[in-house]
Amino acid sequence: SLSLNVYQVSLGSTDGCLKDRLPLTLLYSGVMVIGLPANLLTLFLNWMQVRRKNVLAVYLWGLSLCDLTYLGTLPVWADYVSRGHIWQWSSFACKVTGFIFFTNMYISIFLLCCISYDRYTAVVHSLEVRGLRHRRHAVLVLVVIVFVVAIVHSPVFIMKEGAAEGLKRCFEPSQSSAMVAGFNYARFTFGFLLPLVLLVFTNQRVLASVQRSTGLRGEQKRRVRLLVVAVVLLFLVCFTPYHLILLARAISFHLDSGDCEFMYTPYTISLGLATVNSAVNPILYVLASKNIRKDLWQGLAQLCGQENAGVPSSSSQNQVQQSIKS
């Protein structure tokens, strides 16, 4: 059967469980403390932009909602890790938690690709796409991504690895299989490698276009350069270790190298790194925008009872686009 193989190791790996218990619990807790308020805030700010028919804001709003859903599973995983990988709830709860955790990981990855591609078309091909970028198209893309990723991961509900009764383990299969190896190859290729290529290509072209522009000041170009580097670096740091280990485990199955117990600690650490993305996304993609910050201060002023009139802001992407065209 299809397996998400969250911790595909021998069930006797108690030493690895105990060794990783505290760092992972602290990591999950830290990501929750930072990511929950940041994503709640950006969810609201992006909704304001969506109502103004901002195309990019649709993807950013979806990313915030996705990250919030993803973060919602962290307390459960933190409890699971703190108990030495002993699942105290039902099998159905295990399957639902695993389904939410991994579907939202890949929805997040694909939305990051959408954000980068939208910025690329708006900056590099601004004349060609003028009048062609519509909010309803972005909404359709968002719905399709969620539907496809959910369908691909739906077999989690019939997996034996999600049967938590008895051994009290949640997605810790004791051995690999041809299906698991094939699924890991697919996740590495379509869930990591191709998105990485798209992110590098689109961000590099955006950077090149901005650097050639005569309408942007040196400080503006430097900020764009830092943002591009940060976007690609964050993706690499958060998702490369996890997917490289998936690939290594798939290859080890075909090499008949036995169990992958020696990968247990790196695998759990890489899974923890993947959660960091949910805490950093709102800061990197939303709160770094000057116009989003204007909306934030305006909203805070309204909450304080101050009726300050503000100029409706466009997206930061439109600001860059207009500077390039000037």
Per-residue pLDDT 10s for the chain (326 aa) are 334 444 333 334 444 455 566 778 888 889 999 999 999 988 988 888 888 888 888 999 999 999 999 999 899 888 888 887 788 888 888 888 889 988 999 999 999 999 999 888 888 887 777 767 788 999 999 999 999 999 998 877 776 655 555 567 776 644 466 777 788 898 999 999 999 999 999 999 988 888 887 777 777 778 888 888 999 999 999 999 999 988 988 888 777 655 555 566 787 788 888 999 999 998 887 766 666 667 667 766 776 765 444 444 444 444 444 434 33
Has residue 2 been placed in a domain?
no
What per-residue confidence (pLDDT) applies to 257?
56
What per-residue confidence (pLDDT) applies to 326?
34
Has residue 277 been placed in a domain?
yes
The structure's pTM equals 0.81
What per-residue confidence (pLDDT) applies to 122?
83
What per-residue confidence (pLDDT) applies to 107?
95
Grouping H, G, I as helix, E, B as strand and the rest as coil, residue 304 is coil
Has residue 187 been placed in a domain?
yes
Has residue 3 been placed in a domain?
no
Has residue 81 been placed in a domain?
yes
Has residue 6 been placed in a domain?
no
Q: How many distinct structural domains can be found in the chain?
A: 1
Whether the Cβ atoms of residue 186 and residue 28 lie closer than 8 Å to each other: no
Residue 153: give the domain boundaries: 14-325
Residues 6+ apart with CB under 8 A from 241: 266, 269, 270, 273
What per-residue confidence (pLDDT) applies to 176?
60
**CATH code of the domain containing 136:** 1.20.1070.10
What would you report as the CA-atom Rg of the chain, rounded to the nearest whole angstrom?
21
CB-based burial of residue 317 (10 Å sphere; 0-12 exposed, 13-18 middle, 19+ buried)? buried
CB-based burial of residue 225 (10 Å sphere; 0-12 exposed, 13-18 middle, 19+ buried)? middle
Has residue 4 been placed in a domain?
no
Q: Can you tell me the distance from the alpha carbon of 104 to that of 239, in angstroms, rounded to the nearest whole number? A: 13
What per-residue confidence (pLDDT) applies to 2?
38
- Sign of the alpha-carbon dihedral angle for 37, 43, 44, 48: positive
What per-residue confidence (pLDDT) applies to 214?
74
The backbone torsions φ and ψ at residue 54, rounded to the nearest 5 degrees and listed phi first, read: -80, 120
Has residue 5 been placed in a domain?
no
What per-residue confidence (pLDDT) applies to 7?
39
What per-residue confidence (pLDDT) applies to 310?
44
